[in-house]
Structure 1
Amino acid sequence: MPAAAFESLTLDAEGLPLHVRQRHPHGTPAVLFLHGWLDHSHGFDPLCEHLPEGFRTVLLDFRGMGQSGHAGPGAAYHLSDHLLDVEATLDGLDLPAVHLVGHSLGGIVALAYAAARPERILSLTLIESLGPSGGLPAGALQRLRGFLDDSRRPPNRKRYPSVEAAAERLRQANPTLSPDAALLFARHGTRQEPGGDVTFTFDPRHRRRFGQGFDEAQWLALEAAVTCPVQILRGSRGLSPSPPLLQARLDALRTLVGPPQVLEGGHHVHLEQPQAVAAAIATFVQPTVRSTP
């Protein structure tokens, strides 16, 4: 029996339209997926094929990415804005509490939201994500200078002759991305321009550097505030902080359930091992439910 299709919805985040896809709106448990930087919700499609049919599965496009609206002229994107995206999704779908799954940037947002709204998060699955790289305090000045410099550069929306060419550009930026995964991102993350070329749908202003960021002490304080069960999934060839930093962050998560699970793959391990990642999520959020074969 084929998996049920997702319905596309547009939710309001204080006037900004957010694109959300949902399957089984009356199902349980409710699981909200948050994608990585410059990605979009379709990056979870292969994984969702292996989730239990009864799950209420919700996929969000962050503002300025995927099919969600872009910030207005003169605006910038900050990490805290994406927490507003999560809150608008929960409110718009009338979800009092959910299980959160986040990849990369999505994991950073998920953890920060779980710290700020502990009553709304039932569990936290972090895929290739354990916090931002804020750097040393001495880098704060250079960060501000970089932010101001970037704000003077006009957004550069590059054009590609085909979806396949856009997919190849993604692989150049992330060599661990498989051809199929890159094509998936390009097919759902580009639009055709007059003349036939394609451009990525994300707002190019997302490439600008942030003016502010969490230092390590602040981030560890957020981790310590998380009260729900947490699991961490990592790729064997993925990204990782230095061993001392990694251990400090793991130690700060008081509700971490077991050591990180390492699966064969790179930074987008959920695309390389969709069935294994889906099984880990299903077992974690509802131990009595098994993923489909």
Structure 2
Amino acid sequence: MYQVLRPSHSTFETLRGVRLHLRHWGQPQAQQPPVLLLHGWMDVSASWQFVVDALRTPRLCIAPDWRGFGLSTAAHLDVAHAPPPYGLGDHYLFADYLGDLDALIERVNQRLGRALDAPVDLVGHSMGGNVAMLYAGVRPQRVRRLVNLEGFGLPATDPAQAPRHLARWLDELAALRRGDIVLKTYRGRHGVAQRLMKTNRRLPPERALWLAQHWARPTDPTQPDGEWVILGDVAHKVRGSQPYRLDEVLAIWAAIEAPVLAVQASDDSLAQWFPRGEHSLAEYHRRLQVVRHCRIAHVNDAGHMLHHDQPQRVAELIEQHLA
């Protein structure tokens, strides 16, 4: 199995009524802000381990499990003993990730003896990259530099689509209540690793086995070779209730003051997700033009999980940009 070079330690912080799990690497460095690493949808904070191990210069890195992922959940639930799914409700609002990040930055700064609004560096992957971009536009004074790994945003919606969008959201809530929306289970840690490698053909077995123990857990702790379930609330599979309002997103991106590095993999994930052209890399590049200080970098021989496929290259790009 993968051998960790820089072990992490965990803490828990209750923010906005949610018990968030935080993974920490390194120690505070003089004249350097902490780096917050923001994972993507149906992922966990441990996903950053390979990149942290590849950093040449140690930095204080802190990665939360977003609400309802990993070991983060509602404050009144103990995820160490409560069987999944461990829900915060029947759906999630994207704005809550911004609220959680805002409160987290204040708490991290408080713990480090910094001013509550002292700027930090943000690195986000996929959903985490989208959160980071929005946050940097809403709270520009709190972000020094930003690295966005494949946080492409979503296809633009038309206001006329709102009735159908909300109707489909209600239908999915009903399906969740009926138990029609579920998370798959896998046989043992090796079964979880096989699932990860099926999604990502470049993921080596030793990394997949290491990730499996953080990405999922046995439904019965006394049967480690039995069924394992993903550490994520099934309610995350319900679509968001709000349409993607591109005009609002672009207005927020235009307010970003921090230098932004937008990193994309050689595999075109958008072409796979939206084969009918609802969203594309060309459209994403057009959107990035509203960001005042932005450059684009590419990672070869990598897919959407580029921080797993090429952690050394991703770490190099992060270090260059944060320097």
TM-score w.r.t. the length of structure 2 is 0.80
Where 2:41 maps in the other structure, the secondary structure is coil
Q: Do 1:143 and 1:209's aligned partners in 2 also have CA atoms closer than 8 Å?
A: no
1:259 corresponds to which of 288, 292, 296 = 296
Residue 160 (1) aligns with residue 186 (2)? yes
Q: Tell me the residue number matched to 2:37.
A: 33
CA–CA distance in structure 2, aligned partners of residues 146 and 268 of structure 1: 29
- Percent of residue pairs identical: 31
Distance 1:97 1:186, change over 3 A: same
Where 2:14 maps in the other structure, the secondary structure is strand
CA–CA distance in structure 1, aligned partners of residues 103 and 40 of structure 2: 18
Distance 1:138 1:222, change over 3 A: same
2:314 corresponds to which of 274, 277, 289 = 277
Distance 1:72 1:159, change over 3 A: closer
Q: Deviations over 1:82-115 (max 9, x none)?
A: 1122122212222622110000000000001111
Q: Tell me the residue number matched to 1:235.
A: 265
Q: Tell me the residue number matched to 1:105.
A: 127
CA–CA distance in structure 1, aligned partners of residues 36 and 208 of structure 2: 23
Where 1:99 maps in the other structure, the secondary structure is strand
Residue 59 (1) aligns with residue 63 (2)? yes
Q: Do 2:50 and 2:308's aligned partners in 1 also have CA atoms closer than 8 Å?
A: yes
1:47 corresponds to which of 44, 51, 57 = 51
Q: Tell me the residue number matched to 1:147.
A: 169
Q: Do 1:39 and 1:185's aligned partners in 2 also have CA atoms closer than 8 Å?
A: no
Q: Deviations over 1:195-227 (max 9, x none)?
A: 532111100110011111322212111111111
Amino acid at match of 1:37: W
Q: Do 2:169 and 2:241's aligned partners in 1 also have CA atoms closer than 8 Å?
A: yes
TM-score w.r.t. the length of structure 1 is 0.88
Q: Do 2:73 and 2:88's aligned partners in 1 also have CA atoms closer than 8 Å?
A: no
Residue 84 (1) aligns with residue 91 (2)? no
Distance 1:140 1:179, change over 3 A: farther
Q: Do 2:173 and 2:238's aligned partners in 1 also have CA atoms closer than 8 Å?
A: yes
1:217 corresponds to which of 247, 252, 267 = 247
Where 1:259 maps in the other structure, the secondary structure is strand
Aligned length: 283
Task: Give the C-alpha shift of residue 270 in structure 1.
Answer: 1.2
Distance 1:63 1:177, change over 3 A: farther
Distance 1:121 1:73, change over 3 A: closer
The CA RMSD over aligned residues, in Å, is 2.2
Task: Give the C-alpha shift of residue 168 in structure 1.
Answer: 2.6
Q: Tell me the residue number matched to 1:289.
A: none
Task: Give the C-alpha shift of residue 76 in structure 1.
Answer: 2.1
Shifted more, 126-135 versus 97-106: the winner is 126-135
Distance 1:6 1:82, change over 3 A: same
Residue 183 (1) aligns with residue 209 (2)? yes
Q: Do 1:38 and 1:65's aligned partners in 2 also have CA atoms closer than 8 Å?
A: yes
Consecutive unaligned residues of structure 1, counting only runs of 5 or more, are: 287-293
Q: Tell me the residue number matched to 1:193.
A: 219
Q: Deviations over 1:122-166 (max 9, x none)?
A: 011011113233434443232211210111123524322212222
CA–CA distance in structure 2, aligned partners of residues 134 and 168 of structure 1: 35
CA–CA distance in structure 1, aligned partners of residues 37 and 217 of structure 2: 23
Where 1:198 maps in the other structure, the secondary structure is strand
